[in-house]
Structure 1
Amino acid sequence: MPASHNEMLMTNLVGLAGLLCTLGVSLSSLSSVREARKVGSLGGLDTRVWPLFATSGALWTCYAIRLGDIWLFLTSCSMTVSWLYYCLTAIRLLSQEEGEPRPTAPEPWEGGLLRRRSVDLYRKTAMEKTEKGLAAGFGFTLCVAFACKPWNIKGLSFLEAVITPEIKLSVFSSICGFSSLLLYIKPFSRLWTLVKRRDASTIFLPLVLAQLIQNLVWTTYGILALDPGVYLPNGFGIFVILAQLLLKCVFRRAGAAVEDFALKEEPWLFMESLTLISCDKPVIQ
């Protein structure tokens, strides 16, 4: 086989592997979301960043359509549909939970009324941010998709000679890459918090390993496709994931030891989390 055929075969195999990895990671939250739908409560899940995942997937979907990349399209399209479903489910559950009249403590003077108001405020804020994030994200995606397509504007045809299709494609790739990079900035910023607390118990090892494999595959695919918008953010993601794994190894038992010591020395510090909750309806804590 000629070298070009080998390279094409390798690119398709890596693209297929990337599709399967992304499907696995995207669907890993499906069981939790379905359980939340069954219970009728999100259980305190932080949904503020979910619209960013849906927006990033939508940007990559439009970019893949513009590029004609089948593997990138299937991957980003599945990611968009998954996170759009999660966001709509979150909005539905938050709207159902809004205005819950039952306090989380037996009497108002025991803090139940104050806790209820703070929970209601959290629900309203989370629902508004999810709704506005979806609207702004998809609106921005449509604007970028139109701006990077060939224009048919009478009287402004000279712009096509200045802003060539190659420039538009490069800008589109950069925007998509930056949207993916944003997904790793928050986990990267949390690393210092984990170091200060000496507690890596919040790092879920199987999911982190799955993300590491996914990023390795897509970094390889981006290098084979010569697309910096693909391999640069995924390469940065590999660095963040390796840092998480390092912290997981260093502070594997440190968090539990710190908590046990604090519980023995000052047990009243942990009594605040033992709020009585009515069994009639689930309440976000």
Structure 2
Amino acid sequence: MDRTTHTITIKSIDQIPTVDEIKSISREVALTLIFEGKTNKQREQIGQYLEYALSGFQVLIHTIDPELNVVKLITDKEIEDHQDFFEQCAKDYGHLGGQLVFMLVDKLDLNLNKDFPLDTFNELKQDDRQIGTVGEWRYFVHGFHCGFQHLTTKQCIEVPLTFGLEFGDLDPYFFMKFILSSPGYRPLPIPLFDEYADGLRIIKKMTALGKFEEIPSNVPGHTGIAVTDREKVEIKSDLDLEKIFVKHIEEIKKKPKFNLWKFLGLKR
């Protein structure tokens, strides 16, 4: 969704809106402060103060242009009032993610590693199967995810591959992109604007409400967030996986201790 922009030119410090005035703006308005002349020298300091004083707002301090951009983010009350909606979106995310992964596995006749799907999908990065179509979806394997976009509706979802058969990990940006691109949610029950900042607030508040919960990952030092009310699956830790693959590698090639980081395709 798009905001309207309200622009104020600042030629003297007393023209800067007060914190209370800024707090009164709606989420549908983006406030732009353009600094002229000597006032621009104080722009960064003013921006830092506004970041501190405006809880629940996003303050962007341009490094080149003489301006500050201020927007109000989704509030805790708005999230609480629409918690059932966000909970259902999270359930839909995990359900659709699993459907698409298994659809692709079937099409490409892959031997899915159910403990660590990234192991299977890493193979696709080595050839022309990394990008393609499956059913009515275009897919792209990258990093720790496989992205899908519907060819007609343009609905998009990034399916995580490092949580065993749990495909509902909610990254703030990816979760918001999913909601905003899903035709079944339109019209949205609440305006959503900032794909990462609003998404992060939603995930944090829904976790505090007990609707979302932290989940472990196969990757060392990494965790995720998924909807609490779901069919839970076992997610093997990186140590469990290392034991499994050490045994497998030793049986085949009698090589030194298995390097999990190398297996993940990462350098360390």
TM range (shorter): under 0.3
RCO higher in 1 or 2 (8 Å CA, sep ≥ 6)? 1
Structure in which a larger fraction of residues adopt helix: 1
TM-score (norm 1): 0.21
TM-score (norm 2): 0.22
